[in-house]
Structure 1
Amino acid sequence: MSASPIHADTGLGAPAWGAVIAMMLGVFGLVTAEFLPISLLTPMAADLHISESLAGQAISTTAVLAFIASLLVSSVTRALDRRHVLMGLSGLLIVSNLLVAYAPGFLALLLGRMLLGAALGGFWAMSTAIVMRLMPEPLIPRGLSIMVSGVAAATIFAAPVGSYLGSVIGWRQVFLLAAGLGVLALAVQFYTLPSLPPRGHGSLSTLLRVMRRPRVAVGMLAVLLVFSGHFALFTYVRPYLENVTGVAITTVSAMLLGFGVANYAGTYFGGFMLERNVRLTMALPPLAIGAVGIVLGGTAGAPWLVSALIAVWGFAFGTVPVAWSNWVAQTVPDEAESGGGLLVAAIQVAIALGAGGGGLVLSQGGVTGVFGLGGMTLVAAALLIALWMGRQPRTAADCPV
């Protein structure tokens, strides 16, 4: 892979920073909409006259559709300019939030969340491949870190800010604001994204061929371990803080805000590290998060200590999406859209495994058991990555493509 095809596609002689920022805004809008129901579930259920468990299906439905869309988007849109596809997916984000904001009942809510899942999975699957075409090769890790910072920003906004605004202006108005974020992202994409003709083969058979590559198969296993371990911890962090640490809800919110701020900083640090040592950037974060999980699972520490450990966790996890997006760019540059689709699909499966498996452990061994198991899963992931990456180049610049 070289910079010349990128410039041939975009017609630019310099990195397309504005277009990368437009991608970041798209990610921010999508992930914010994805996680808003977590902080607004109770008022949503009460207003729609449904149970909280039924309202929770709005979250799982989004994940299912994101999984499907991540695998199909390249083949369904293989003849279309990627600029138009990305803008169309941002349009779906806007329609989704409007449907949820004005939903008269559960079915309208479900339809809106299904559209969000399609937009989320499709956008994420194509994002790495698009950034590769917008940036010269040495700047790809930095471009990816900017794009992925939208996730960290959404983590800060969706939970603490979303719950606060919901109590002040109502949950429907919060989703209207989320639709406004989609409008902003679409406008910036319209003015900054260059024409991006389709590349690669974009078929289901291509997905299978990419999956059969040895480095990809092992990589997907590592992805499953990293993200399932993380989401086993993150899904049940509030019960841990309330029941084990014994802090009030205001302190829980402050700790989660600290997680989000640290996560945002970690995203940019990940891009910096990837330009220097890929192996360390991929292996160290899951090891650090795993250690945090094991320590938290083994002790009911003082609130200040728990808060510090959660901040370390947030910072470490900020590097993870950047590292794996960069891995796709370096491992399957010839079929980056298919590789991105497989990555997103694996992450969605890992979220389900982590949340579901953590729930089973919670019912049997309590929340400390969840943290112990999640921590050990992450340590195993770090060991696998360290051994697997040991035979691979140390820096992004050295990776053969």
Structure 2
Amino acid sequence: MGAAPAASTTQPNLHTQTSSGDTAHTPWGRLLLLSAAAFTAVTTELLPSGLLPQISRDLRVEETSVGILTGAYALVIVFTALPLSRVLGGRVPRKNLLIATMFTFAVSNVLLACSPTLELAMAARLLGGIAHGMLWVGIAPYAARIVPEASVGKAMAIVFAGNSVALTAGAPVGTLMGSIMSWRLSFLLLAGIGLAISAVCIWLLPAAHDKDTKTSPSIFKAFRLPGVVAVVTAWPLLVLGHFTLFTYVAPFLHATGLPEEFTGALLSLVGGASLVGIWIAGRTADSYPRRSLLWTVAGLVTAFGLLPVLGGIGVAGPLLVALWGAAFGALGIYNQAAILRAGGEHKDAANSLSVVTIQLGISIGSAFGSMAMTLLGPQQVPLAAAIPVAAALAIIFVSRRSGYPAGPRESRS
């Protein structure tokens, strides 16, 4: 098919910028390229955790010190996402921002691979964290602008499938490569992928800068929208619940009587099932967003509630873990589409708010899981995880008019 036509100055709807001018056409190549960018970002974030022993030996520091490379990375995202959105939103063309982001990932990974000391490795990771914040601030609003408005949910499913592929394949393969050859080689390979994506972005992605809008993105105006408040509250609660258990899934599985070697397989099951959830969400997020999300969150509460009882019994445990993974994979798609719709003309600012609150949910989830481990024991951690998820379910249920309205094929009664 031919290249996308340039945006007309008399036609402000950026959703018309799809391939060959056909608003009903899904630009698969462009969305898969964005998915590859998401894959690179998540693999970059997770890879140090799998290579802690190798990095610590090479840099001659304790593993706990190397663990800071992951924690500091997340903190940078929290503190830079909103300022970057305010400074860059509406000013820098989105295509240029994505290209610069992937190039920054590449530079960060090269610097990390060449770092002789922990201090230089930390500096490289801080640069990567800035790139990560830039990517999450821009990638979803950009994807929403290159597809028809009725296909936003499907676009989110395609783009964020890269996250699940990174969990199930990217980080494990990078860890294996680092174990067999060198951890530095793993990060150099990631840098090469980032550079390749940058080059293809120049050729394949259309411009999607809001030249026609007279409204600058405003965090404060976005936060005053009731739908935005609902989503940036419920979504982090769901993430908090997930990471409450995910962070301590190994001791939980051990407490249920499952052998330690099952941990890796069940974590892969979570990632694989999340791809199924993303596929389902991609088919329902535009037409049945409210009903699908309510059933998905209810399924997650059920899985967490039953895992302490059935987690170590036959096939029940793997089935509940698969339900957990599928539900969590779908939740991201439904909520990403919801925040973009709720944000309206301030969708970029609303998306930035969600990035920050999600990162806080991840951090608080780990701490909440630690507290549950101490007070309740490892086998009851899923029950603790169910509490914030149930709270999110209540918020979603009462937000039928703003944050989580019915879709075009759902009854609005």
* RMSD value, Cα: 2.3
Residue 166 of structure 1 corresponds to 178
Q: Deviations over 1:271-320 (max 9, x none)?
A: 11113311123222232222222222345523633222211111111111
- Are residue 110 (structure 1) and residue 122 (structure 2) matched? yes
- Are residue 286 (structure 1) and residue 294 (structure 2) matched? no
Q: Deviations over 1:115-155 (max 9, x none)?
A: 11111111111122111210011222111110011111111
Q: CA deviation at 1:170?
A: 2.4
Correspondence 1:360-379 to 2 at 5 A = 360-379=371-390
Structure 1's 202 and 92: CA in aligned 2 closer, same or farther, altered over 3 A?
farther
Residue 388 of structure 1 corresponds to 399
5+ long unaligned stretches in structure 2 = 1-10
Q: 1:25 aligns with which of 32, 36, 41?
A: 36
Q: 1:237 aligns with which of 244, 249, 253?
A: 249
Contact 1:281 1:319 in 2 (8 A): no
Contact 1:27 1:151 in 2 (8 A): yes
Q: Deviations over 1:151-205 (max 9, x none)?
A: 11111124432332222122221112221221232122122111222466555xx
Correspondence 1:124-273 to 2 at 5 A = 124-198=136-210, 201-202=215-216, 206-249=218-261, 251-273=262-284
CA distance in 2, matches of 1:398, 1:280: 8
- Are residue 357 (structure 1) and residue 368 (structure 2) matched? yes
- Are residue 13 (structure 1) and residue 13 (structure 2) matched? no
Residue 100 of structure 2 corresponds to 88
Indicate the larger mover: 141-150 or 380-389.
380-389
Residue 47 of structure 1 corresponds to 58
Given residue 272 of structure 1, which amino acid in structure 2 is its aligned partner? R
| Partner secondary structure for residue 220 of structure 1 | helix
Indicate the larger mover: 137-146 or 240-249.
240-249
CA distance in 1, matches of 2:181, 2:126: 25
Given residue 19 of structure 1, which amino acid in structure 2 is its aligned partner? R
Residue 327 of structure 1 corresponds to 338
Q: Deviations over 1:315-355 (max 9, x none)?
A: 11111111111002211131121111011111001001101
Structure 1's 111 and 13: CA in aligned 2 closer, same or farther, altered over 3 A?
same
Indicate the larger mover: 347-356 or 373-382.
373-382
| Partner secondary structure for residue 315 of structure 2 | helix
Q: CA deviation at 1:98?
A: 1.1
Contact 1:279 1:390 in 2 (8 A): no
5+ long unaligned stretches in structure 1 = none
Q: CA deviation at 1:84?
A: 0.7
Structure 1's 46 and 339: CA in aligned 2 closer, same or farther, altered over 3 A?
same
Contact 1:35 1:158 in 2 (8 A): no
Indicate the larger mover: 332-341 or 238-247.
238-247
Using the aligned pairs only, state the percent identity.
Answer: 26
CA distance in 2, matches of 1:289, 1:93: 33
Indicate the larger mover: 299-308 or 179-188.
299-308
Residue 97 of structure 1 corresponds to 109
Contact 1:63 1:348 in 2 (8 A): yes
Normalised to the residue count of structure 2, the TM-score between the two structures is: 0.89
Q: CA deviation at 1:80?
A: 1.6
Structure 1's 257 and 337: CA in aligned 2 closer, same or farther, altered over 3 A?
same
Structure 1's 7 and 269: CA in aligned 2 closer, same or farther, altered over 3 A?
closer
Structure 1's 112 and 375: CA in aligned 2 closer, same or farther, altered over 3 A?
same
Indicate the larger mover: 211-220 or 351-360.
211-220
Indicate the larger mover: 322-331 or 161-170.
161-170
Normalised to the residue count of structure 1, the TM-score between the two structures is: 0.91
* Number of residue-to-residue matches in the alignment: 395
Indicate the larger mover: 365-374 or 4-13.
4-13
CA distance in 2, matches of 1:177, 1:243: 38
| Partner secondary structure for residue 115 of structure 2 | coil
CA distance in 2, matches of 1:306, 1:399: 35
Structure 1's 178 and 247: CA in aligned 2 closer, same or farther, altered over 3 A?
same
Given residue 17 of structure 1, which amino acid in structure 2 is its aligned partner? W
Given residue 255 of structure 1, which amino acid in structure 2 is its aligned partner? L
- Are residue 311 (structure 1) and residue 322 (structure 2) matched? yes
CA distance in 2, matches of 1:399, 1:179: 48
Contact 1:286 1:316 in 2 (8 A): yes
Structure 1's 8 and 139: CA in aligned 2 closer, same or farther, altered over 3 A?
closer
Indicate the larger mover: 258-267 or 291-300.
291-300
Residue 68 of structure 2 corresponds to 57
Q: Deviations over 1:67-120 (max 9, x none)?
A: 223212222224221111110000111111112212211111111111111111
Residue 37 of structure 1 corresponds to 48
Given residue 290 of structure 1, which amino acid in structure 2 is its aligned partner? V
CA distance in 2, matches of 1:94, 1:157: 19
Which one has a larger percent helix, Structure 1 or Structure 2? Answer: 1
CA distance in 2, matches of 1:297, 1:312: 14
Contact 1:145 1:271 in 2 (8 A): yes
| Partner secondary structure for residue 128 of structure 1 | helix
Contact 2:35 2:159 in 1 (8 A): yes
| Partner secondary structure for residue 70 of structure 2 | helix
Given residue 5 of structure 1, which amino acid in structure 2 is its aligned partner? N
Residue 73 of structure 1 corresponds to 84
CA distance in 1, matches of 2:126, 2:294: 34
- Are residue 348 (structure 1) and residue 356 (structure 2) matched? no
